[in-house]
Amino acid sequence: MDIAFVCLGNICRSPMAELIFNKIAAERGFDGEMRAISFGTSDCEEGNPIYPPALKTLKSHGVEGSHRARQLTLADVKNCGYILVMDSGNLFDVLRLTGGGFSEKIFKLCDFCDRPRDVDDPWYTRDFERAYFDIVDGIEGFLRFLGKGGV
């Protein structure tokens, strides 16, 4: 099953979530079962690599990898098991793309947290460290929701 993480540009939060999720999946042995991919709701960064400060933050936490930005399509929504967005604006944009459809598999990532919230956009806050910890918290909450919570 593909798990799609979605943000606005697909150069900061959602590729961070993709690489973090795939590292956790490999470490805990469910990488054959679930694979993370990521998209942007916008095409403003189409084809661009992960934003360097986001990549640097990942590296400082031992997360490696690369990604090129691509815009989410309706076909992607159909093909993925879950669509996990970063903030309320992303949720609005994805539901506009689907015409309100597929809402049973579209969630805000940090609605799985004990303290539900947005993953604020570090492109604007410049706080990549907070984005990293919010994303980790959301992924752990999502894994608990799936019954795969190990921590």
Q: Is 35 a catalytic residue?
A: no
Tokens representing 60 are 């400082």
- H/E element holding 139? helix 128-145
Question: And the tokens for 110?
Answer: 């940090």
The least distance separating ligand 4NP from the CB of residue 147, rounded to whole angstroms, comes to 29
Q: Binding of ligand 4NP at residue 123 (CB under 6 A)? A: yes
Q: Is 13 a catalytic residue?
A: yes
Which residue in 3, 4, 8, 58 binds ligand 4NP (CB under 6 A)? 8
What span, in angstroms and rounded, lies between the C-alpha atoms of 70 and 48? 8
Q: Which of 13, 110, 113, 137 is catalytic?
A: 13
How far apart CA 114 and CA 4 sit, in angstroms, is 22
* The one catalytic residue among 7, 80, 110, 113: 7
6 in contact with ligand 4NP (CB under 6 A):
no
List the catalytic residue out of 87, 121, 134, 137.
Answer: 121
| Spatial separation of the C-alpha atoms in residues 122 and 107, rounded to whole Å | 20
Q: Which residues bind ligand 4NP (CB under 6 A)?
A: 7-13, 44-45, 121, 123
